[in-house]
Amino acid sequence: MKKRNVNLGFTLIELLVTVAIAAVLLSVAAPSFTNLISANNADNATARLANIFAYARSEAVVRAQDVRVCASTDGNACNGANDTDWANWWRVEIVAGGTLLKVENISSLAVGFEVTDNSDDPDTAADESNDLNNLTAVCFDQFGVECNGLFPYVIFTATSNGQISSKRLYSSGSVSL
């Protein structure tokens, strides 16, 4: 009886062909994965912004005091006109006295924020629009209503590598897609 010579492994050529096919598939899939990560970062940033607005609104009602959310370059203070970039740090604080309630750093998401008004809305007359390029803070009063006079809403748009996500903050204090 003859013994049969059975190969239980792969040849070098089979292995190289498999690696080459895998490399081609990965090179095709990698750009899609990058877009997925960028879209996730933009969605995450706007969701976190909606959450921090909800938190500030809730604190304003519970404390019966004006509470603001402000953009901050370093998270240490709200510096007014110097802090117009919403893509770094956010502070939630009581307006009277500046008591800090919460700080959030979103700079790791690598998103850019743009704040616009309702002028692009076809249902809004041109004279109702506001220039919000320098918006530094959003305030909520003891009734949970936005107290800066941002009427009827403001659009916060996060962009990450061309992927966009937006949220609307209404003067009533509610946030929607």
Mean pLDDT for 95-108 is 87
Query: pLDDT digit string (tens) for 139-174?
Result: 899 998 888 776 577 778 888 888 888 888 777 777
Which amino acid, one-letter code, is at 95?
V
Handedness of CA 69, 75, 80, 84 (dihedral sign): negative
Which two structure tokens, joined as six digits, stand for 145?
């209503």
Q: Are strands 89-94 and 100-105 parallel, antiparallel or unpaired?
A: antiparallel
Q: Please state the pTM of the whole predicted model.
A: 0.73
How confident is the model at residue 1, as a pLDDT? 60
Three-state SS sequence of 46-85: HHHHHHHHHHHHHHHHHHCCCEEEEEECCCCCCCHHHCCC
At residue 122, does pLDDT exceed 70? no
At residue 121, does pLDDT exceed 80? no
For the chain, list the domains and their CATH numbers: 12-176 (3.55.40.10)
Closest by CA to 87, choosing from 163, 159, 170, 36, is 159
How confident is the model at residue 127, as a pLDDT? 44
